[in-house]
């Protein structure tokens, strides 16, 4: 019989071979903890940092503190050579005494002028004094009053000069304005400091390192998820420990670097052992959403797109595997999400399987001959897509 005729006869008797139904890779909808975070890098800074400066010029004759020195409010930390300022103070005090003596002299002159005027007025009443002599006495009295007022003003001016000289002399002794620890020292003994318009910085004192701030820059794409009070975990390169903190402030002052807009985020953390030093770089994970023991589906389920199925559902959806092996699209309410899982807010779906891909290279035809000498394709890593076991 002709082979072609035989083939046509077989097709008419037995029909065309049926396509095998697709086999899907699946993952269960189960319970796990979901934590959504925003990653950032920040720098440790003291909550309050005070720069102690010099308000007068001169040579540093004594430094009483060094790096890491613990200081208290009012403690003397440095001294500037007071020789010139002490001389200015003594000169101002001497000028004050001189002006006070001048006031006494002017008071005596005024008293004499008033007595002279009184005598002239009595003589004028008895016509024993001329009008010109009376006018001269009045002029002398008025002049004495003016000179006394000027002398008193000079005393007030001298007192101000003394106060200024005293302040400059006091500035030669530099004290700590707060309780804290010295983190920066900018001068050495014997060095001359020159203060012009601004105070010259000598020391930087961190008021308290038991509680610190971390300043981080967050891109504008992520800053909308961050709120004050959110929990933060972070690590520092110097330690293996994980530290915790809380978002203290989301500042609205932006900065732009290479066309990237970022916003500063302030995280407050307890530094009880003072292990974290100012300036340390830390890696932050800011917790923006959380769901404990939540029903969850793997993220791979959202990336699955069946080739031979269509649905009217739009947006985020998953494909459930039915008992007959077929799949159907569903769109439950979703909640918190992280890099691995998304919360499913429908308890009736617990334990159901979702399709995350097709099984390939594992399904063979039942009547296909297996050649043991045929090379096998390389095996690639498979994404099993299974969620962690439910919490006990």
> What pairing do the DSSP bridges indicate for beta strands 281-298 and 30-46?
antiparallel
Where does the chain have alpha helices with state H?
3-14, 83-125, 131-171, 220-223, 300-303
Domain with 190 in it: what CATH number? Answer: 2.40.50.100
Report the largest interatomic distance among the alpha carbons of the chain, rounded to a whole angstrom: 178
Residue after which a domain boundary falls, among 132, 165, 198: 165
The backbone torsions φ and ψ at residue 158, rounded to the nearest 5 degrees and listed phi first, read -65, -35
Residue after which a domain boundary falls, among 261, 291, 321: 291
The backbone torsions φ and ψ at residue 301, rounded to the nearest 5 degrees and listed phi first, read -65, -30
- What is the predicted pLDDT for the residue at 5? 52
Write the pLDDT tens digit of every residue in 242-269.
Answer: 999 999 999 999 999 999 999 999 999 9
Structural domain includes residue 191: yes
- What is the predicted pLDDT for the residue at 161? 96
Write the pLDDT tens digit of every residue in 263-317.
Answer: 999 999 999 889 999 999 999 999 999 999 999 999 999 999 998 888 888 989 9
Contact present, 80 and 63 (Cβ < 8 Å): no
Structural domain includes residue 126: yes
Q: How far apart are CA 213 and CA 276, in angstroms?
A: 10
Place of tokens 């001497």: 94
Q: Which helix (H) or strand (E) holds 247?
A: strand 242-250
Same domain for 57 and 111, yes or no, is no
Same domain for 43 and 94, yes or no, is no
Per-residue pLDDT in tens (0 to 9) along the chain, 392 residues: 555 555 555 545 555 555 567 889 999 999 999 999 999 999 999 999 999 999 899 999 999 999 999 999 999 999 999 999 999 999 999 999 999 999 999 999 999 999 998 888 888 888 878 888 888 989 999 999 999 999 999 999 999 999 999 999 999 999 999 999 999 999 999 999 987 667 778 999 998 899 999 999 999 999 999 999 999 999 999 999 999 999 999 999 999 999 999 999 999 999 988 999 999 999 999 999 999 999 999 999 999 999 888 888 898 999 999 988 899 999 999 999 988 999 999 999 999 999 999 987 544 333 333 444 444 444 433 333 333 333 43
Q: Which helix (H) or strand (E) holds 206?
A: strand 200-206
Q: Strand 58-63: give its sheet, edge to edge.
A: 173-175, 76-80, 58-63, 192-193
Same domain for 158 and 221, yes or no, is no
Torsion angle, CA of 347/351/356/360, rounded to 10 degrees? -160
Structural domain includes residue 379: no
**Boundaries of domain holding 187:** 49-81+172-207
Same domain for 99 and 161, yes or no, is yes
Q: How far apart are CA 7 and CA 26, in angstroms?
A: 40
**Interacting residues of 106 by C-beta distance below 8 A, sequence separation 6+:** 144, 147, 148, 150, 151
Same domain for 56 and 201, yes or no, is yes
Contact present, 322 and 349 (Cβ < 8 Å): no
Q: What is the pTM of this model?
A: 0.65
Same domain for 107 and 159, yes or no, is yes
- What is the predicted pLDDT for the residue at 389? 37
Number of domains in the chain: 3
- What is the predicted pLDDT for the residue at 57? 92
Domain with 123 in it: what CATH number? Answer: 1.10.287
Same domain for 151 and 121, yes or no, is yes
Domain with 279 in it: what CATH number? Answer: 2.40.30.170
- What is the predicted pLDDT for the residue at 303? 93
Same domain for 59 and 129, yes or no, is no
Structural domain includes residue 118: yes
Q: How far apart are CA 61 and CA 78, in angstroms?
A: 8
Q: How far apart are CA 305 and CA 312, in angstroms?
A: 14
Residue after which a domain boundary falls, among 246, 269, 291: 291
Write the pLDDT tens digit of every residue in 311-351.
Answer: 888 989 999 999 888 999 999 999 999 889 999 999 999 99
Same domain for 212 and 285, yes or no, is yes
Give strand pairing partners of 184: 204
Q: Strand 353-358: give its sheet, edge to edge.
A: 24-28, 353-358, 318-321, 327-330
> Chain centroid to CA 378: how far?
51
Q: How far apart are CA 122 and CA 308, in angstroms?
A: 133
Structure tokens at 104: 């006494």
Q: How far apart are CA 222 and CA 230, in angstroms?
A: 14
């Amino acid at each position: 019989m002709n082979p072609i005729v035989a083939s046509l006869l077989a097709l008419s008797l037995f029909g065309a071979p049926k396509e095998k139904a697709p086999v899907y890779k699946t993952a269960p909808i189960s319970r796990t903890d979901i934590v959504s975070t925003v990653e950032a890098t920040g720098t440790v800074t003291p909550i309050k940092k005070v720069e102690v400066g010099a308000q007068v010029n001169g040579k540093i004759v004594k430094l009483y503190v060094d790096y890491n020195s613990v200081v208290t409010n009012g403690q003397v930390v440095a001294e500037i050579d007071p020789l010139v300022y002490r001389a200015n103070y003594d000169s101002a005090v001497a000028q004050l005494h001189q002006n006070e003596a001048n006031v006494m002299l002017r008071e005596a002159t005024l008293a004499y002028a008033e007595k002279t005027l009184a005598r002239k007025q009595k003589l004028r009443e008895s016509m024993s004094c001329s009008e010109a002599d009376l006018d001269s006495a009045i002029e002398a009295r008025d002049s004495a009053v003016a000179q006394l007022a000027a002398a008193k003003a000079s005393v007030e001016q001298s007192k101000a000069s003394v106060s200024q000289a005293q302040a400059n002399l006091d500035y030669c002794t530099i004290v700590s304005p707060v309780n804290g620890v010295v983190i920066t020292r900018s001068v050495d003994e014997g060095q001359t400091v020159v203060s012009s318009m601004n105070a010259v910085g000598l020391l930087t004192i961190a008021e308290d390192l038991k509680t610190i701030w971390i300043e981080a820059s967050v891109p504008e794409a992520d800053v909308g998820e961050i709120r004050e009070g959110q929990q933060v975990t972070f690590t520092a390169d110097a330690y293996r420990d994980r530290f915790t903190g809380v978002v203290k402030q989301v500042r609205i002052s932006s900065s732009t670097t290479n066309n990237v807009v970022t916003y500063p985020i302030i995280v407050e953390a307890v530094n009880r052992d003072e292990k974290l030093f100012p300036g340390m770089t830390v890696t932050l994970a800011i917790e923006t959403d959380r769901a404990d023991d939540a029903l969850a589906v793997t993220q791979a389920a959202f990336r699955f797109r069946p080739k031979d199925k269509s649905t009217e559902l739009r947006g985020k959806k998953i494909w459930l595997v039915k008992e007959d092996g077929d799949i159907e699209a569903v769109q439950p309410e979703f909640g918190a999400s992280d890099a691995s899982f998304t919360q499913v807010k429908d308890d009736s779906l617990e334990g159901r399987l979702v399709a995350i891909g097709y099984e390939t290279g594992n399904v063979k035809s039942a009547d296909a001959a297996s050649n043991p000498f045929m090379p096998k394709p390389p095996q690639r890593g498979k994404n099993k897509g299974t969620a962690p076991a439910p919490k006990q």
